[in-house]
Structure formats: C-alpha cells, structure tokens
C-alpha cells in the first residue's frame, strides 16, 4: 500500500454529490488505498451545486469543485437558476467550469423540437464559455450523439470553443477519432481525458487514440459513479478506480505506471490550476 500511495493519481472528472454515495469518508478511504490523491467533482444541475461546493469545503485537500449545467438539464434550468449558478461560480474557488457541453444522443424532451433543443444546448454552452473566460478558468466538455464518436456534437462544440481562444477545453470521456483529437490539440490548445472505457473489450479504436496522443495532452478520469473499469465493470464506481484507467493507459503506451501517474497528474495540475 505504501508503494501505491507514492504514485500520485488525480481523477479529473467525477460526480461525488451523487446520491449513490452513502458515505464520502468511506469513498475517500477506499480511493486513497488505490493511490488516489485528488479528484475533480462536477456539479451539473441545480440540485447538486451546493452539495458539490460543500464537499470541496469539507475536503479541500481531496476534492476540487466544478459547476455547470449539463446539456441534458438545460431545458429544466431557468434563467433564475442560471444566474444563481453564475453567482456561485463567482463566489467560490473552482477548478474549472464543467460539466458543460452538447448531448444529441437523447431525443428532445416533451414540448421541444429537436432543432430547438439543440439550439438551447448550444446557447448554454456558449454561456459557459463566456463565464469561463470571465473567471479565467478552463472548461470540461461533454459531447455525445447517436453516432458514438459524437461527430455532430463535436463539430458544434468545436465551433463554439474556437470563439474563446483563452479558454482551454478538455473533452472528457473521449471516444473520438485521432483526427478529432489532432484538431483539439492544434486548434483549441485543448486536452482529452480517458475513462474506464479504455479497459473494456471492443474499444480498440479509442485505445489506439489513447496510445497515440501526445503525453502533454492526456488526463485520466472515472466519471464516477458511472463507467466502472475492468475488473469492476457494472459496479458502483469510485474515484480511486482511476488507477485501472492509468494502468491500462500505461500498457497501451508502453510506459510504466509511474510515468503515467506523473504525466497525467502534472497535466491535471496545470489544467485545473491545482
């Protein structure tokens, strides 16, 4: 255990305010045993903003907070709630704005046309970039559509991101192509982050991208409580299982686990201003 804890691991994207966690002290203890030193928790809707900030206040050495409106929640978030979120972001220390983005996977909710729903998401994403620019923060991006690699979402999010050159994006849970990754790096000065998906069978395409990416552009995450990696696939995920993501990433890249820990943690420190 002592050797494990000398390797600093940072989970750059999780959701610790989830009601699926009964005891955060226990989650922390379990995660630290696996070598985790810090995690970035995303508050994504009005119901978990305060809880996310509270966790960061209670465990500042272990948790940093991000706030945003997840694209799936944009039609349920009114202007008063949006203004409240901006006030919270201005009043509390944050690691980034997030998780914001575009999600074209699900059909439009009742009462919304598909075009109007997507326009609402794009409007909210542009607002998030404006807020990040104001606060001199970077942004954690979600892109997902029915094609799997998120082509339509990627193109729309990319077009918005290009309008804000001072805001660096990380495309979280990246499952896109090498060509998309190249554009993120060269045109947006952005990053990509890999989840437990790279430990699954039949994810050879994203594994190949993870093996190729420049070292200074990669981070690791769990997206806890979701996407638990092998050998815990299908179970409640915890931030400490980012270890399995890092181990797989090291194997794919032909480097040591210790080197991946150093690389991804240094990248996280710079991106999130830790």
How many Cα atoms within 13 Å fall on the side-chain side of residue 138?
A: 23
How far apart, in Å, are the Cα atoms of 273 and each of 14, 93, 96, 133, 151? 17, 11, 9, 15, 30
Q: Is the pLDDT of residue 20 over 50?
A: yes
Global pTM value: 0.95
Domains of the chain: 2-272 (3.20.20.140)
| pLDDT, tens only, 161-213 | 999 999 999 999 999 999 999 999 999 999 999 999 999 999 999 999 999 99
Mean pLDDT for the stretch of residues 140-169: 90
| pLDDT, tens only, 205-260 | 999 999 999 999 999 999 999 999 999 999 999 999 999 999 999 999 999 999 99
Do the bridges between strand 191-194 and strand 63-67 make them parallel or antiparallel, or are there none, so unpaired?
A: unpaired
DSSP string, 171-240: ESS----HHHHHHHHHHH--EEEE-GGGGSTT-HHHHHHHHHS-GGGEEE---TTS-PPTTSTTSPP-GG
Burial degree of 201 (CB within 10 A; 0-12, 13-18, 19+)? exposed
b/e per residue, 228-250, with b = 16+ CB within 10 A? Answer: bbeeeeeeebbbbbbbbbbbbbb
Q: Is the pLDDT of residue 150 over 70?
A: no
> Residue 227 and residue 150: Cα distance in Å, rounded?
18
| Bridge partner residues of 39 (DSSP) | 11, 63
- Which residues have a Cβ under 8 Å from the Cβ of 123 and sit 6 or more positions away? none
> Residue 179 and residue 209: Cα distance in Å, rounded?
9
Tokens of 33: 């045993």
* Torsion of Cα atoms, 195 then 196 then 200 then 205, to 10°: 10
- Nearest Cα to Cα of residue 226 among 27, 18, 70: 18
Do the bridges between strand 63-67 and strand 36-43 make them parallel or antiparallel, or are there none, so unpaired?
A: parallel
| Bridge partner residues of 65 (DSSP) | 41
pLDDT in the model for residue 10? 98
Helix (H) / strand (E) element for 38: namely strand 36-43
Per the omega criterion (within 30 degrees of 0), is the bond before 225 cis? yes
Q: What is the mean pLDDT of the chain?
A: 95
């Amino acid at each position: 255990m002592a050797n494990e804890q000398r390797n600093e691991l940072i989970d750059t994207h999780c959701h610790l305010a989830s009601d699926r966690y009964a005891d955060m002290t226990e989650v922390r203890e379990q995660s630290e045993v696996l070598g985790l030193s810090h995690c970035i928790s995303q508050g994504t809707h009005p119901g978990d903003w305060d809880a996310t900030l509270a966790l960061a206040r209670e465990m500042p050495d272990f948790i940093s907070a991000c706030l945003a409106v997840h694209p799936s929640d944009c039609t349920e978030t009114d202007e008063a709630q949006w203004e409240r979120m901006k006030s919270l972001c201005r009043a509390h220390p944050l690691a980034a704005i997030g998780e914001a983005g575009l999600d074209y996977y699900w059909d439009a909710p009742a009462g919304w046309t598909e075009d109007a729903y997507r326009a609402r998401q794009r409007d909210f994403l542009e607002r998030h970039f404006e807020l990040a620019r104001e606060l001199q923060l970077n942004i954690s991006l979600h892109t997902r559509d029915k094609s799997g690699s998120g082509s339509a979402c990627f193109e729309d999010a990319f077009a918005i991101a290009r309008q804000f050159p001072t805001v660096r994006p990380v495309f979280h849970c990246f499952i896109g192509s090498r060509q998309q990754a190249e554009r993120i790096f060269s045109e947006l000065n952005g990053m990509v982050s890999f989840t437990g998906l790279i430990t699954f069978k039949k994810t050879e395409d994203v594994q190949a991208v993870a093996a190729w990416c420049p070292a200074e552009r990669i981070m690791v995450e769990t997206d806890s409580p979701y996407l638990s990696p092998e050998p815990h696939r299908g179970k409640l995920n915890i931030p400490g299982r980012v270890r399995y993501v890092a181990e797989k990433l090291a194997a794919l890249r032909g480097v040591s686990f210790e080197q991946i820990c150093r690389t991804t943690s240094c990248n996280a420190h710079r991106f999130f201003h830790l």
